[in-house]
Structure 1
Amino acid sequence: MKIAMVSEHASPLAALGGVDAGGQNVHVAALATQLARRGHEVRVYTRRDQPESQQPERVALNDGVEVVHVPAGPARAIPKDELLPFMGAFGDWLSEDWARTGTPDVVHAHFWMSGLAAAQACALPGIPWAITFHALGVVKRRHQGLADTSPPQRLELERRLASTADLIIATCSDEAAELTRLGAPADRIAVVPCGVDTMLFSPAAAPRPPRSPAKLLSVGRLVPRKGLDTAVRALVALPHTELTIAGGPPRAELDQDAEARRLRELADALGVGDRVLFTGQVAHERMPELYRSADLVLATPWYEPFGITPLEAAACGKAVVGSAVGGLLDTVVDGQTGRLVPERDPRALASAIAEMLDCPETLADWGRTARARAVTRYGWERVAERTEASLLGVVRGRRAVEVPA
């Protein structure tokens, strides 16, 4: 198949760790790469956010995958919540490009604004199109309220996309349930999770013996919804532990980051500032080493559409204590690969951490189970296979096909 992926703000070429650069970038890059390895021709269309002299129109990501920078809006970085006015131009440019270079067999949009551009470009030639929302506005509004910076039209536009897309690829069962409540036809929804590179993210050669202080690790963008303050608060009840927070801007720029300052001030006020380390941005290829250095990985968001951290930790053979929200309900199996606790509950989080650290044998067993589960369910080859089957179903004129989990 000739597959066009539309990912308006999440370029597969972007450096990770910024406010709008995270799991979706990894997802698009890895999925495109694996689909190309399965014999498909993949183009990823993303918005140009630098001058053309610094960001050529077309860049080869690897064999079979080309990244195309679309000139929609100013050639500079713009927060994703401000990109809606440029989606019409994005869709027009897609139509023009496909008229020049040939129409794709199927279009796979990533994020709701990409869906708007894709739906516009696919309408006249009748190209089948699919969408992965990665996050739903109705869920974001529910958890963030007035702090939600999404355009006010988002909820209604997402409802329209959910009812008109040929296929919706949901990343977890919680998202699928939300989509049906939005009015999406159940026979157009396929659940295919995000994936993890189980070759890059792998366990240490030898198990680490118990130590004190125990090393806790939280990984993610430095934004409030990631719930990193919950992890900091839990340290008060865990005197023999240290917490490393990885993510955000480069380490030298952390002092200018509002969330980093807030978390540092909170840690100091609670008397745990000497036990919290901020690494800043960490290169993707260095992340496995960071996971392996931890005794236990924490994932404590208020809400999480999917969440890559639990998968990366699991692939490295690490158990996870996570919030019982969103994608973590699928990726963390309570009592088998980690613990699920209520969100924003430092006491419950501290209790689960203490329980797990007090039993190193169980912690090691859960880590091995997490690794095996990551390989069999979430390896990118498996995720690409299931995505391919779903897209082929659309190309052949069928609605979403059932793909075994």
Structure 2
Amino acid sequence: MPTLTPPLRIALVCLHTSPASDPGIGDAGGMNVVVRNQALALGALGHAVEVLTRRSSTEQPAETELGENVVLRFLDAGPPAPQAKGRHEEYVDEFRQAMEAFGPYDIVHSHHWFSGMAALPFTREHALPHLQSFHSIAADPSSPLSDGERPESPGRLAGEAWLAKESDAVIAISAAEAETVVRRLGGDAERVRVVSPGVDSEVFRLRPRSATPYVVVAGRLDPLKGFDLAIEALGLIPAESRPLLVVAGEESVDYRSYPGELSELARARGVGEAVRFVGPQSRTELAALLAEAAVVAIPSHSETYGLVALEAAACGTPVVAAAAGGLREAVVDGVTGIVLRSREPAAWADAISRILDDPALQESLAITARVRATGLSWAHSADALVAVYRHELALR
């Protein structure tokens, strides 16, 4: 239903990755899903949305229509080719200059720190409110690698702290991320807002389970996702009851060797035949893969939310997730899935087997997961965003 108040002109800035890319391809992940679906939901409400991203191919047009009232623009900044994620810091100034050709806007909302570093100076020059979403936040350089977060250069942490303090508001995807913004980046808790993601419960829906039980791990093939833990756990499940493990996703430019490392680990644990790499999936392909699975495992070291958990819930598929960041909010332990604080493979093998061996437990988790997920729509997420946008505009 169209808004009754004047529509907004909104810029969503995603410098390093296009929201049109399916998650699991290169550096595309949950952020891409969130930005694309929030943009479409904002457009459906009648707002004029422009999504600004960097041109990463000579075949990309100047602009394309994503949906009603939503235009995706490709800006020239750096080589028109895929780049390692870390290199995008080099293109910030060029991207900011390219932004000058577009607008006018009422509000600018940046996603990831690269985007904010380009957009915050642009909004100051044009006297516009700037809202920042991080989607991932750098670990402190002193953090041990065992925490699962690679310590980043001091430049990133300093840049994120600047954005947290200087942006008009920070929009976090979970309470866990909001707490990190305040604790790690020094953001003002009064200016941090939590806007939860949604899920398309018509695409991600119930389907008959596969006759051959399998467990899914889905996302970028990146060590941060912890897919090695899923393989280690698989090796501890007795062969007579061992499910297949389906790995959906593609390595990013930074981790070209990671798929080979996972394959070698599977062979070393004697489960090479039980691990299937199916590559990146479209949204409809992923929905079918999740819905027909017996269990979805999310062994990530760090997640600001864990959108796959919500998508699995909409499919009525129980989740076994690490107690990392927003996953503790995406999965209700014992109600929609199992949340594990331990990273011991034996604990993961036990949790997966418990669901596989207990049809009543699997059914109970499936029902409550689906009910919870259907109450979390992208329309609700967009409504919450608009409320933040209008609040910031009213302050001016």
Normalised TM-score (structure 1)? 0.89
Q: CA deviation at 1:300?
A: 0.6
Partner of 1:401: none
Q: CA deviation at 1:214?
A: 3.1
* CA shift in 2, pair 1:184/1:43, >3 Å: same
Q: CA deviation at 1:237?
A: 2.3
Partner of 1:36: 43
Cα deviation digits, residues 40-97 of structure 1 (max 9, x gap): 000000011122xx22212111120001111111211112211112111211221x22
Partner of 2:231: 232
3-state SS of 1:306 partner? coil
1:78 matches 2:78: no
3-state SS of 1:97 partner? coil
3-state SS of 2:278 partner? strand
Partner of 1:309: 308
| CA distance in 2: counterparts of 1:197 and 1:345, whole angstroms | 33
Q: CA-atom RMSD, angstroms?
A: 2.1
Partner of 1:379: 377
AA aligned opposite 2:302 = Y
Q: Which runs of 4+ in 1 moved over 6 A?
A: none
1:201 matches 2:204: yes
| CA distance in 2: counterparts of 1:293 and 1:77, whole angstroms | 33
Partner of 2:4: none
| CA distance in 1: counterparts of 2:352 and 2:91, whole angstroms | 46
Paired residues, number: 382
1:69 matches 2:69: no
Q: CA deviation at 1:135?
A: 0.4
Conserved? CA contact 2:142–2:151, under 8 Å? no
The residue correspondences of 1:216-295 to structure 2 (distance < 5 A) are: 216-239=215-238, 240=241, 241-248=243-250, 257-295=256-294
| CA distance in 1: counterparts of 2:292 and 2:144, whole angstroms | 33
Conserved? CA contact 1:300–1:343, under 8 Å? no
1:93 matches 2:98: yes
Q: What stretches of structure 1 of length at least 5 have no aligned partner?
A: 251-255, 399-405
AA aligned opposite 2:66 = L
Partner of 1:126: 127
AA aligned opposite 1:373 = R
Share of identical aligned residues, percent?
36
1:3 matches 2:10: yes
3-state SS of 2:52 partner? strand
Partner of 1:253: none
AA aligned opposite 2:30 = G
Q: What stretches of structure 2 of length at least 5 have no aligned partner?
A: 1-7
Q: CA deviation at 1:29?
A: 0.9
Conserved? CA contact 1:325–1:343, under 8 Å? no
| CA distance in 2: counterparts of 1:127 and 1:164, whole angstroms | 13
Partner of 2:54: 47
Q: CA deviation at 1:208?
A: 4.0
| CA distance in 2: counterparts of 1:144 and 1:169, whole angstroms | 27
| CA distance in 2: counterparts of 1:387 and 1:147, whole angstroms | 28
Give the one of 16, 29, 48 matched to 1:22.
29
Conserved? CA contact 2:24–2:218, under 8 Å? no
Cα deviation digits, residues 5-33 of structure 1 (max 9, x gap): 10001212224322311211111111100
* CA shift in 2, pair 1:175/1:249, >3 Å: closer
3-state SS of 1:248 partner? coil
Q: CA deviation at 1:143?
A: 6.1
Cα deviation digits, residues 117-146 of structure 1 (max 9, x gap): 110100122100101100001379736489
Conserved? CA contact 2:139–2:151, under 8 Å? no
Conserved? CA contact 1:143–1:303, under 8 Å? no
Normalised TM-score (structure 2)? 0.91
Conserved? CA contact 1:249–1:257, under 8 Å? yes
Q: CA deviation at 1:396?
A: 1.3
Partner of 1:107: 108
Q: CA deviation at 1:264?
A: 1.2
AA aligned opposite 1:61 = L
AA aligned opposite 2:101 = D
